[in-house]
Amino acid sequence: MQQAGRHGYEAFVLWGGRFAGDGRRFEFISAYFPEQTTSRGEEGLLVTVEGEALFRVNRAFYRRGLTLAGQVHSHPTDAYHSDTDDAYPLMTLIGGLSGVVPDFGDGGRARLHEWAWYRLVGRGEWASLGEETRITFR
C-alpha cells in the first residue's frame, strides 16, 4: 500500500481466515495482494480487480481452508468508506470486514487505531463496527 501510495495510487489487499477457538473469534491468516489496476478518474482514485483475479484469490484461500472475509484498502488522506467503496466491494461475504487505511498506509500497523472499519450487513450496506468487535494484530 505504501509502495502504491508513493505513486499516488490506492491499493487493495484481501484477507483470508477462519473461525478459531469457540467460534466467536475469526482469525485472518493470509493477506493476498490481487492483481489490480489503479487509475485516477474524475471521481478520484479507482482500483479495479478483474473477475479472473478475484477468482484466483478465492481459489488460493479455499485451497488452504480459508474464507475471503476481509478487504483492506488505502486512501490518500482520510479513512472512510466512500459511496464507491459501499457499492463495489471485493469482499461480498455478509458479516465480513472492510478496513480503510489513511495516508496510503503511512505508519503501517502502528496506526491501526486510525483505520476505519466496516461490516457488510446487507447488499451494498455497511455498518460501523460496534463494541462487540475488536481488531488486533498478533
Q: Could you list the residues that contact Zn ion (CB under 5 A)?
A: 82, 85
- Beta carbon nearer to Zn ion, 9 or 66: 9
Whichever of 47 and 68 has its CB closer to Zn ion, that residue is 47
We find the least distance from the C-beta atom of residue 25 to Zn ion, in angstroms, to be 27
Q: What are phi and psi of 127, to 5 degrees?
A: -125, 145
CB of 50 to Zn ion, least distance (A): 18
Q: Sign of torsion, CA 32 22 134 69?
A: positive
d(CA 10, CA 115): 14
Nearest distance, CB of residue 95 and Zn ion, angstroms: 20
For residues 22 and 43, which CB has a smaller minimum distance to Zn ion in the complex? 43
Handedness of CA 54, 14, 5, 129 (dihedral sign): positive
